[in-house]
Amino acid sequence: MKYRHTKQIALLVAVILAAVASRFSGSINPYYLQVILFIGINVTLATSLNLINGYTGQFSLGHAGFMAIGAYASAYLSTEKSAGIFQALGGANAFSIALIFALVLLGGGIAAALAGLIVGVPSLRLKGDYLAIVTLGFGEIIRVLIQNTDAVGGPRGYSGIAGYTTLFWTYAVAALTIYVVLSMVDSTYGRGFLTVRDDEVAAESVGINTTRYKVTAFVLGAFFAGVAGGLYAHTTTYINPSGFDFQLSIQIVIMVILGGMGSTAGVAFAAVLLTLLLEYLRFVAGYEWLPDLVRRIASNRMIIFSLVLIALMLLRPQGLFGALPRMAGGRKTPKSQPGPTIATP
């Protein structure tokens, strides 16, 4: 409890810093700026997935699907439905853009959260790899649905989205996600998430409604994934269904595993690291003095990801930060040992 205010102050400081940094974003090379925005978006994606996969111990592979819903919903809202509000506020000025973008992001988040609820309620009765398969299938269904919806461009993608995303929005959302996840988990109510991960039967036997916790984690995680999707759509100004395939879900899962399931700081750090690594690989692939084989590997991200993951599992199975000392003496059963291996039910 004594950390309550520290967390709120940290959130406020982060938001102010983001606003200040935003002022100077004009002087940053546009490419670097975009990478910095992607980092913030990935931090949001990874820390929100960590609530589901890390703290609550459910294995979801559907984060790209929720992100896609958020991206498309917010893009649709800002492109098709915001003209009236602009008119009412006297055209496009700083205030009206901020208001509309906030509403649009919220809309994307809510759409994703609703999808999370619809998928979560029936499928969270499943455990381990079964849940992973259902969420994986869900992500693909979303992608295929979008691909066949002409109103949002279908396979051609959705273009002409306004470039509203700024450093401020991206990092304010990332800070808010971290704040929400941390304050959820650090409360008596939030400890319920950890008990669901540790032992579902024991959790039920002390009177915890495990289904509600799982659905809460799922809906909340989906909400922030949706907001991140909105930020992404308004960064790139063009989105395409194939950009939200299951490789993206895996990429987010890898960030969570790399950082250490159930460690918000570790997962946020891993999101930064992996985003930078991915971007740097583009340059490596272009270095002509490197042997051809190295350049070819560098241009295939999945190989690098797999290698990073294998190395990590051998050297630090608990993730870069681990779930901190908590994991030190955990019971040696697959259930309570959060790791990439999916516990068989």
Partner 1 sequence: MLELTDVAVSYGSINALHDVSLKVETGSIVTLIGANGAGKSTTLRAISGLLRVNNGWIRYEDQDITNSAPHKIVARGISHVPEGRMIFANLTVHENLLMGAYLRKDRGKLGQDFDFVFNMFPRLKERAKQVAGTLSGGEQQMLAIGRALMSKPRCLMLDEPSLGIAPLLVKTIFQKITEINQSLGITILLVEQNANLALEVSHYGYVLETGHIILHDKSPALRANERVKDAYLGGG
Q: Of 33-41, 165-173, 186-194, 221-229, which part binds partner 1 (CB under 8 A)? A: 186-194
Q: According to CB under 8 A, which residues from 23 to 52 bind partner 1?
A: none
User: What backbone phi and psi angles, to 5 degrees, belong to 159?
Assistant: -120, 175
Does position 181 bind partner 1 by CB under 8 A? Answer: no
Burial class of 252 by CB neighbour count within 10 A (0 to 12, 13 to 18, 19+): buried
Does position 187 bind partner 1 by CB under 8 A? Answer: no
Residue 41 or 203 having the CB closest to partner 1: 203
Query: Judged by CB under 8 A, which of 88, 207, 291, 292 binds partner 1?
Result: 207
Residue 71 or 194 having the CB closest to partner 1: 194
Taking the complex as a whole, how short is the minimal distance between the CB of residue 190 and partner 1, in angstroms? Answer: 11
Number of residues counted as binding partner 1 (CB under 8 A): 26
Does position 275 bind partner 1 by CB under 8 A? Answer: no
Q: Of 59-67, 149-157, 165-173, 203-211, which part binds partner 1 (CB under 8 A)? A: 203-211
Query: Judged by CB under 8 A, which of 186, 199, 245, 279 binds partner 1?
Result: 199
Q: Of 8-16, 73-81, 190-198, 281-289, which part binds partner 1 (CB under 8 A)? A: 190-198
Does position 2 bind partner 1 by CB under 8 A? Answer: no
Does position 90 bind partner 1 by CB under 8 A? Answer: no
Residue 296 or 331 having the CB closest to partner 1: 331
Q: Of 68-76, 162-170, 200-208, 302-310, which part binds partner 1 (CB under 8 A)? A: 200-208
Query: Judged by CB under 8 A, which of 10, 28, 145, 198 binds partner 1?
Result: 198
Binding mask 312-331 for partner 1 (x = CB under 8 A): -----------x-xxxxxxx
Does position 186 bind partner 1 by CB under 8 A? Answer: no
Taking the complex as a whole, how short is the minimal distance between the CB of residue 335 and partner 1, in angstroms? Answer: 9
The per-residue b/e assignment along 147-176, b for 16 or more CB within 10 angstroms, e otherwise, is beeeebbeeeebeebbebbbbbbbbbbbbb
CB 119 within 8 A of CB 39: no
Binding site for partner 1 (CB under 8 A): 188, 191-192, 194-195, 197-199, 201-209, 323, 325-331, 336
